[in-house]
Amino acid sequence: MNVALLGKKIGMTQVFDDANRLVPVTVIEAGPCPVTQVKSDETDGYNAVQIGFRAQKAQRLSKAARGHFEKAGVETQSELSEFRTNGDHELNVGDVLTVERFEAGQKIDVVGTSKGRGFQGVVKRYGFAGGPASHGSMFHRRGGSYGMCQWPGHVIKGKKMPGHMGDVQRTVQNLTIVKVVPEKNLILIKGSVPGSRGSLLTVRSAIKNKVRKG
């Protein structure tokens, strides 16, 4: 089973590694994540494990949601997520997943939702150079010509134009764990990850682990 945890982004800081080099890291509070349901081919048609995150007051949940957690025998959670498996795991309902499933130096993938930037032009959205900044050019931060006069007479699909920017799911692959702090449920990851502080993240072991040579 591919190890996966739910967590929230705390922010960024910097730490010194073993070679006394300053490394920028993202701090993620991952888990503890109780297993709320285990699905199998016999009962559900596929194999999966459902986990929760962030304890929540029972009165803030629907009656159906409270019943789901009561059946699993775990504390009510505000977040639920499901991960497909091959049926070869040894997890049971009620088990708790923690950051101890990860270790320093391990390669991981982080899935999150990028920051929303609202409606933006082509300069900020795609990095267009824009036109002359001098007076009278009338072409400063526009995208240029979009369509055509006759055939086919419409803007080609996929044309880079102004529009909504950000607030989409993104996955950053092959990040390196610098340090794991089990007593505080923290993972320090080299580099940045998508999302703002406090946003929900999924941390899993790398699917496409690349080993750099030299």
Q: What are the residue ranges spanned by the domains of the chain?
A: 1-30+102-133+160-209, 32-97
Greater confidence, 209 or 10? 10
- This prediction has a pTM of 0.83
Query: How large is the average pLDDT for residues 56-61?
Result: 91
Least confident of 9-13, 17-21, 117-121, 168-172: 17-21
Q: 1-30+102-133+160-209 adopts what CATH topology? A: Elongation Factor Tu (Ef-tu); domain 3 (2.40.30)
pLDDT in the model for residue 67:
93
Look at domain 32-97 and name its CATH class.
alpha beta
61 half-sphere exposure, CB direction, 13 A CA radius:
19
Same fold, 1-30+102-133+160-209 and 32-97: no
